[in-house]
Structure 1
Amino acid sequence: MDTKKLAVFQEAIKNGSLKKTAEKLNYTQSGLIYMMNSLEDEFGIHLLNRTTKGIELTQEGILLEPYIKKIVDCEEELTKVIADIHKEGTKKIRIGAYPIYACHYLPTIMKSFLVDNPENEITIRVATADNLSKMLEEDEVDLAVGEKGLIKNTDWIFLMKYEIYAALPQTIKLADDVEAVTYDLLKDYPLLFSSYNKVSEHVEEMLGKGKEKPYKINVASEDGSALLSMVEEGLGIAFLSSLYLRECPDTVRMLPLDPHITRELGVILKPEKKKSVQIKKFIEYLQKQQY
């Protein structure tokens, strides 16, 4: 059904004349008559009576006119809403982030954003890399803050660099001037691995898969704080983002690895999400944050 015909039909009813309507809408009178005849053919119903005074609705036309008006009004409202979305967005933003980023950076960023944009609504989903990937693919979040290369066929906007550190319990005595943990040192101690930072395979490769190593504990946790607690109890050495330096207790020492493992953290989103005005605004606040 061509809603343009319905809108012209409504205008003709309002004017009471096909001639006046044609002049107002810049149609030829014959073209307008053809359009109205086409609408009647499409419905299979006679809608208008032509009289010497102009036009008037038939009984069938009187019955259908309120419904036609609803369709025309709804299309006008839809057009307005679409224009508003293009101009301002939906005012709702769904964000996925790692626990440590959500804890230390998002609160400040959100506060600043909402002070300037109080009409917005923000939803935060805290998750591991695997879950962030799933959330983006299934459109459960509009954007995620995660590592570069985490998800294929997405755009990525750089925010910061960080390192993977070794977290050591106080039972491991190192000289005060030691500035990094070598892989040779790791061979002598039990290791705690978590899937959240994806360094397990890398570290094991550096250690050498064919060599004897102490026991290994795999920890399925979305939060590195659990690993810090285990390190504090002397269970072994864990591998954590340098972002956890702010949470490190006095009984745990965090040092970079030698050679270093560096990661990049940024905004991940599908290309079509970049069209949203509100998402663009929020990304600007993420980029302004001091890291």
Structure 2
Amino acid sequence: MSPVVALRLPVQIDLSAFLALLLRLQVPHRVTEEAGEQLLWVPGEPLAEQVRDLYARYPQGDPAAQQSDASPPVAGFVQSLKDSPLTTAMLGLTLLVAALTLLGENFALIHWLSFVDFRIQGDYIYFSYLRETLQRGQWWRLLTPMLIHFGLLHLAMNALWYWVLGRRIEARQGPWMLLGLTLVFGLSANFAQYLYAGPSLFGGLSGVLYGLLGHCALFQRLAPSAEYRLPPGLLALMLGWLLLCMTGIFELLQLAAIANAAHVGGLLAGCLTGLAGGLLARQHR
């Protein structure tokens, strides 16, 4: 059955509550943006007529659900966790590892999660090479560095942006796609940092985040949708932060060591997946 435009509304209108109502009613739909308008598509004209009638009666969504939401901050957050299970699980795993590693202080555990193994002897740290690590069958190290965080600020910033970006991808393309992209971007970021800097200790979700950013930005450019609309200024903010980090100012001031190659590697991988996914979605549309 061919998709039909059920609603054509200005982009300024917030459809989130009405879309939530459609989800609760299990109405298949998708939203796109064209020429400053947002289009709500459903399969077939009969269903489109029902959706138009439903919107005429409940443009703000289900009133019963709104009235039952007596404590919106708590209830809304809990519902968001349920609506984004993969994003929630990924952040839960990240927080667990942060607690077990004492935010980068527990080297006895960190050396099992780093990209290559290492040992500390006196004031020196000795790293293995990747070939030795893989020969021992320690393949999990290719991914686990993205779970390591050094300090509360490092963890908080990465967790926040993964929540912002991950939920968008999970809502638009599903949890399995988000999981696949997270793994691909994690691999790309870790390999890029290793190839650039050699054996070293690095970690964090930031390489994955730049991959998610590139994916969302290009996908949205090629196949606009309400789910992939980024917060105003986010793209400029994160790209500006990347350029600032690449100047080496933080290392010069001895504030932090930034894994810039991981950021760039994740971003390039995200641009490729966003380009491919956006072109496919545009062709399908």
Taking structure 1 as the reference length, what is the TM-score of the superposition?
A: 0.22
Answer with 1 or 2: which has the greater Rg: 1
TM-score, normalising length: structure 2: 0.22
Higher relative contact order (CA 8 A, sep 6+): 1
Higher strand proportion (structure 1 or 2): 1
More helix per residue: 1 or 2? 2
